[in-house]
Amino acid sequence: MALKLDPLGDGVSSVERLPIAPSDLQVVNAARVSMSKLHKEVQPKDTGLINYLAKHQHWTPFSHAQYMLERKMTVQDYVVWCAKSADEQFVRSVISMGDGGVRFYERGSLYAFVKHNIITDSMWENNPLSLSAFGIKSAPTSGSNPFFVDDWTHMLADPTNEWWDKQNLYAGLGWNPQRLKVAQFRIKMPIFIARQWYKHQVGFTRNEVSRRYVSDAPEFFIPNEWRLQAPSVKQGSSDEVHRHSGDMQGWIANATETITSKYTELMEEENICPEQARSVLPQSMYTEFVETASIDAYRRLIELRQDPHAQYEVRKYAESVKKCLTKG
């Protein structure tokens, strides 16, 4: 069961850990988050969406479908392969290297593997619509790949979640399971927090809601308490709360209501396009996105965003992600 938390406690913010299972549904929901939609199963019209994504080279939704393989090849072929696929963001951990060649784990997106004609039975089973959109008409035949390939996709997510206290456990074994394992979240946060969150890019794949496509009323974050400026840190806040926080809530709520009304008026009465009308909306507006990243990438994000110098609100999101990872 997916774990869902409310980091800011306002009934709107959310951090939800999604199950790791590469599939066409995963691709569809990553794409449809731009329209603030979520499907529980693949629908007939989703075939057209996947074909559209492939035809117009919108690869990001396919990057959320991650696969992990065990592979073996000669040292020379391994060096050539690493150079050839350097731009595909593969993550590798060498298990053994010697006269018998290189044996290694390799994690990558469905798109990255297909681009290099590495297709497993589980890819065909889980992503048949995606593979068909890429022009692949049948499952791979035995021996179709020149190098040994074994699918370990079932090991992508850690069922025990003991990684947090054991991040260096495998350091001497030559491979890092935290870089190989992945997690996926659907997160709803204010834009001014999302822009801090998005600074973490290495190892992350994201698709975000777009107000070019959605017409529902925007939602806003209004703090219950307004903190004063920290005397010694320009970008930070103190623990002292403004004495008129309650009064400020009221007029800020009125201001967001007014700007929402003007936003709607621009589109409905003035026929202004949504992609321009949205420019009047403030940074306190909520945005929503799906993101996929390695456990190690999340560990790094959490370490930085739970630092006492980080903004309180972003610390609450980092705390929620950590709870989901350690309890999910």
List, by residue number, the catalytic residues: 305
In DSSP notation, 269-294 reads TS---HHHHGGGS-TTBEEEEEEEEE
* Neighbour-count burial of 199, counting CB atoms closer than 10 A to its CB (0-12 exposed, 13-18 middle, 19+ buried): exposed
Which structure tokens are listed for 4?
């869902």
Distance (Å, rounded) from C-alpha 273 to C-alpha 251?
29
Alpha-carbon span 117 to 145, nearest angstrom: 8
CB 316 within 8 A of CB 55: no
Return the number of other C-beta atoms located less than 10 Å from residue 89's C-beta. 14
| Continuous segment of H or E residues that includes residue 16 | strand 14-18
In Å, how far are 66, 98, 105, 110 from 94, measured between CA atoms? 19, 11, 6, 21
Pairing of strands 14-18, 182-190: antiparallel
